[in-house]
Structure 1
Amino acid sequence: MDVSRWFKSGLDCQLLIGLSAAQTTVLLFKDEQCLEQIVIPERLASACFDALHALLNQHNLKHPAVTLVLADDCYQHAELDKPSVPDEEVAAALQWSVKELISIEPDNMQLDYYDVASTGSRQQVRVIAAERQWLSDWGHMVVSQLRGELHKVLIEELCLLNLFDEADVPTMLLWQKQGGEVQLLLVHKQHLYLSRSLRGSANLESMASELLPSIIDSLSLEVQRALDYFESNLRQPPVKIVKLALPEAVRQLVQMQMQANLAVDVEPLETQAISGFSSPDDIAVLPILAARVEPAEVAAEA
C-alpha cells in the first residue's frame, strides 16, 4: 500500500469506516499502525461526526483519507441480464431494469454492478444499489466537515477478495461476523464465483454444544453442494482448500468436523491483512481491514 500519496495531498491518516444498519465501526490508521478502533451505534453521517471529529483530535490528526465499507444490510442486490448497450451506458440502463427488484426509489438509487459467471451465451450482472442521499451525506460530511477525502465506497464481500492472491488455486472462504450467518465465498484468481449466506448458522459461538455437530454437518453439506456446482456447472478446476474466518470459540471444532466430512483441506484463514492486529474482533472487522490491501486487479464473477 502506497500511503505516501496521502501525505503528498495533505492527508495525514486513514479512516476505514464500516457501515451497517445498526452501527458504524471505525478503524484509524496512521502509516501501517492501527491507532484505535471505535464503534458508534449510528449509521447516519450527521450522528457520527462528533465521534469521528473527537477521534481525530485525540490523535492530533486533521485530514483523513476515508474508505467506506458497506455491510450487506446497507444495500440491495439483484442479478439480471446485462443490457446490450455500450459499457458506459450499462449503469444507466440497469437503473430502470431493476425498478421491480429493488425497493429504493430510482431518484434515490446509487447503483453499481459487476459481471457474474455464466455457462451459456447470456451475460448476467449483479447489481448493487444503496440510498444515494445516505451516501451523499457521508461524502459531504467527510469532505466539508472532517476536511478529508473520500477515496472509495466498497462492499464487504468484494473487500474480502483482496485477501487472495491472483495466482491462488480455487479457494472457499467461510466467514462469520457476530450475530450474522456464515458467509460462503468461492474465489479463484481474485474472482468471486459464489457468494451466499448459509441459513441456520447464525451465532455459532453461542449455540449449545450438543447442537453444534449437527449444524456443522449441515454446513458441510452446503459447502459440498457449492464445491460441486463450481466444478460441474461453472466448469472450473476443483477447489483444494476451505479457509475458515470464524469465531475462535468454534473454529477448531468446525475445522475438525468439516475436515472429516469433506475431501478437501480445511484450515483457518491466515492473512497479512490482520497480522499484528490484536483486537479480539479481528474476524468482525476482516472486510474493513481487507479494504486496506491494494490488489493488482479485483473482479467478481458471481
Structure 2
Amino acid sequence: MLGFSKQKQNDHRICFQITQTSVRILIAKESAKAPELIVNDYEQVQNGSVVKEAAALLAKYSRLPLKQAQVTLVLGTDLYESVQVDRPMLDPEEISESLKYSLSDLVSFSADDVIADYYEFPEQPSGQDKIVAVAASKHHLTPWVEFLNDRELLLTDIAIAELTLPRLSETQSHAELLLYQNPTGNYIAQINTPKGLMFSRLLRGVSDISNYTKSEMEAGALEPLATELQRSVDYFESHLRQAPISRIVAAVEHTQLAIVEKCLTQLLAVDCTTYQYPEWAIELREGDYSDLAGLGAFSGTPS
C-alpha cells in the first residue's frame, strides 16, 4: 500500500506480519489456483528488536530458495494510525505525498517521520468526500528495508491489517459483518459487501472475551462487544443507507465458539457463524485467527 512497485521474480512469496512485540513469517508458493502455504511461524518479542527476531525466523528456512522472493510487510494496528480526512484538492498521484504534512496534527508521528498513503470506501454518507489516511513511522520501517535488502529479498508491499483481512472474505451477494481479533488483543469490525470493504473500525475498550465462561456469556458478558457491533451496523445501515447485513462472521479466539455465536445471535438478532480458513491455509493455520492479516497478503490483489 505504501508506495512500493511490484514485480515478479520468484514463485515463493514471503509475508512478515508484525506488531510492536511480535513477528510472524508466512511463506507460500504461487500457483494458478491458490497459494501453497509452506511456512507459518511466529515469535513473541519479549526484549530487543522485532527485526532481529524476524532474521532468526528467516534463518530457520534458509534451505528454501528465497533469493529475490517478493515480500509483503503487514503492519499490525499498533504500528500505524488511520484517520478519515477530507479529500485534498489534488490529483490522485499527489495526495499521498501531501498527507505527511497535513496529518501532523492528527497523528502522533512528526511530518519528518511520516510515511503516508490512503484508501477510500466505495460508498460515503451523503455530501461527504473523504479518504482514509494511513500513517506509519519511517524510523520503524527503515530497518526492515535494510534487513530485506541485505538478504536479497524484494519488498514489494507495505500493507496494513485492516486492508489485508478483507482479502480473505468470500464475495457475497449481501453485506456481512466480520469480527476479527488481532494479535494486539483488540477487535476489528469490518463490513464487506459485493462492492468491497465498506466499513472498518477498531473496537477500542472492548475486553478480551477469550476467557469468558459459558455461564458468564449467557449472563450477558458479551453485551459490551455486541453494543459496539450494533453501533457499527447502525452507521452502515443508517448513515450509509445500506441494506441490513445478512450475518456476522466471527474470527475470534474462544474454546466455546458455539456459545459465542449463540449469544451474539441473540443479542444482535442476526445470525452469527464462525470464520472458516481458506482451504489452502487449513493445514498450517494458527487456529486462533491471529495469522489472518498475514494470510491475506497472499490473497487477492495487493493494495
TM-score range, shorter chain: 0.7 to 0.9
Where does residue 193 of structure 1 map in the other structure? 198
Q: Does the 8 Å contact 1:64/1:146 carry over to 2? A: no
Where does residue 299 of structure 2 map in the other structure? 293
Q: Which amino acid aligns with 1:139?
A: V
Q: Shift in Å at residue 186 of structure 1? A: 1.2
Q: Shift in Å at residue 16 of structure 1? A: 1.1
Where does residue 24 of structure 2 map in the other structure? 25
Deviations 1:257-292 (A, max 9, x none): 122223322111124266423444450001111111
Where does residue 83 of structure 2 map in the other structure? 78
Q: Which amino acid aligns with 2:15?
A: L
SS in 2 for 1:79: strand
Where does residue 270 of structure 2 map in the other structure? 264
Distance 1:43 1:26, change over 3 A: farther
Residue 37 in structure 1 maps to residue 41 in structure 2:
yes
In structure 2, which of residues 131, 141, 148 is the aligned counterpart of residue 142 of structure 1?
A: 148
Q: Which TM-score applies when normalising by structure 2?
A: 0.84
Q: Which amino acid aligns with 2:37?
A: Q
* In 2, Cα distance between equivalents of 1:194 and 1:177: 17
Q: How does 1:153-302 map to 2 (within 5 A)?
A: 153-177=158-182, 180-189=185-194, 191-207=196-212, 209-213=214-218, 214-272=220-278, 275-295=281-301
Q: Which runs of 5+ in 2 are unaligned?
A: 1-6, 31-35
SS in 2 for 1:119: coil
Q: Does the 8 Å contact 2:177/2:247 carry over to 1? A: yes
Residue 54 in structure 1 maps to residue 53 in structure 2:
no
Distance 1:277 1:151, change over 3 A: farther
Q: Which runs of 5+ in 1 are unaligned?
A: none
Q: Does the 8 Å contact 2:190/2:201 carry over to 1? A: yes
In structure 1, which of residues 64, 73, 90 is the aligned counterpart of residue 69 of structure 2?
A: 64
**Which has the bigger relative contact order, CA under 8 A and spacing at least 6?**
2
> Which shifted more, 187-196 or 228-237?
187-196
Distance 1:13 1:27, change over 3 A: same
Q: Percent identity?
A: 25
User: If each structure's helix is expressed as a fraction of its own residues, which one has the higher value?
Assistant: 1
Name the count of aligned residue pairs.
Answer: 289
Q: Which TM-score applies when normalising by structure 1?
A: 0.84
